[in-house]
Amino acid sequence: MSGEEMQEPDPSQLKKGVCLLLMFFALVLLTAFAYFLLFLNSSDTNVTSCPAVFNIAPAISGKAQGGVSVEQKNASYIRLPRMSLNDKHEYLLKEQCDLFSGQWINDPAGPAYTNASCNFIEDPQNCMKNGRPDTNYLYWRWKPYDCELPPFDPFKFMDAMKDKSWAFIGDSIFRNNIQSLICLLIKHILGKADLLYIVVEEPVEVYHDKSFKSRTWYFANHNFTVGLIFAPFLVKAELFEDDEGKAKSEAELHLDILEDKWTSQYNKYDYVIFSGGQWFLKSMIIWVNNTIVGCHNCKRNNLKELGIDCPYRKALQMVYEFMVSSDHKPLIFFRTWTPDHFEYGEWFSGGVCNRTTPYSEGQYKGKPIDHEIRTIEIQEFEKAVSMASQTGARLKLLDTFHLSLLRPDGHPGPYRTFIPLTRIRLLKFKMTAFIGACQGLSIHGMN
């Protein structure tokens, strides 16, 4: 795949800050039933079918122990042990509420922020400014089946984050998540006559790299730091792309070396959230032990096609091994795969993302690649949880796959750049594949 299309997997956007709460107050592990069956049956096969060069030897094989015992129900999900939301006041929550099992319901109250209340929304995510004509996508909120999510409370959140730091490690989807997070922290309240803005606290950017892909923000009053660490492959990679994300050459991936942009900073953070996936669909040359062992989607005849499954699995294993064995014990979240929503073709063959309402449950099940990647993620997470039970590492799954799967309307589509109305019909849009970051929507910690 060319760099352009895959360059900016935009984040999903759920509405309001509901999901942010998930990150901080809930441990909800769930995985779709079908995938669970898949992984039970195929785990070992998948692993052993990777070429020997990946040298993949899961530290703990067999059934996950400690922490993840699977409780089978006749819902469409397997439910894993979870924590309840800890909010005793306005919202009566059943003790065990699976936050990721639910539906999108209409929410006339509208978005928690807009491009007027938040100037942290950047142009590629400001789809209203870029001419998107429909607005229905702003009026949905996530409703877990078994409970009501309290609205996001920026004051409470900031209090909880006093003297703390968060690292977001992954690709540009996290950039969008952080934009949403910051927008949610700049709380706005509708007054009787005027729009009154109450700023909880605006952060200051204290670091950025040359390309502004890795950045750090600091909320001085709360001594709270948010770091975005751009490491789309999680492992060491040389990327050959110009500023617009056009690949001049395949990415070169070192599958046995972790990206030191994040490992070197790991000890500084109290919370770490990471994700991967999207960039593994690109063209890449794969190195192990300083030797090229193959490639994915490359145009070099002499190289073995290695697919994406084994490289991705290996990268996740490397990350977990590092995190689980580290003496530093932050609270670690893995955020699951973000499905794309192209229809009428793929990104390279005229596909479009032009829906204006969410899917209802069961209406759309995702593409084979979604299931494949998600299966790998769940398998590797569960293995890591087993290892973690021996080292005291704290791992949680932020499983936003399903709720983002249901939001084909969430992608900015062509409105990542300004499109005058008259041109809309004439353009054959190339769009990024992922649920996007339209202003007004936010999904924290997920895609």
Question: Which residues of the chain form contacts with ligand NAG (CB under 6 A)?
Answer: 74, 115, 126, 128-129, 163, 165, 223, 289, 344, 352, 354-356
Is residue 436 within 8 A of residue 175, CB to CB? The reply is no
Strand partners of residue 188: 197
- Please give the DSSP secondary-structure letter assigned to residue 74: S
Residues 6+ apart with CB under 8 A from 327: none
DSSP reduced 3-state for 230: strand
CA dist 113 and 92 (Å) reads 26
**Minimum distance of ligand NAG from residue 355's CB (angstroms):** 6
Which residue is associated with the tokens 């050959």? 240
Distance between CA atoms of residues 12 and 253, nearest Å = 26
d(CA 237, CA 3): 14
Report, in Å, the least distance between residue 67 CB and ligand NAG. Answer: 26
Between 74 and 301, whose beta carbon lies closer to ligand NAG? 74
Residue 130 CB, shortest distance to ligand NAG, in Å, is 9
195-197 and 204-208: which strand pairing? unpaired
- Looking at the Cβ atoms of 126 and 336, the one nearer to ligand NAG is 126
Q: At closest approach, how far in Å is the CB of 163 from ligand NAG?
A: 4
Q: Are 393 and 332 a contacting pair, CB within 8 Å?
A: yes
Q: 355: helix, coil or strand?
A: coil
**For residue 343, what are the β-bridge partners?**
352
Which neighbouring-strand residues pair with 334?
A: 274, 397
> Which CB atom, from 376 or from 438, has the smaller least distance to ligand NAG?
438
DSSP 8-state secondary structure symbol assigned to residue 247: B
Closest CB 356 distance from ligand NAG, rounded Å: 5
Whose Cβ is closer to ligand NAG: residue 90's or residue 327's?
327
Which H helix or E strand runs over 289? none
Q: What's the min distance (Å) between Cβ of 409 and ligand NAG? A: 9
CB of 350 to ligand NAG, least distance (A): 8
Report the residue count for the chain.
447
Residues 117 and 179 sit within 8 Å (Cβ to Cβ): no
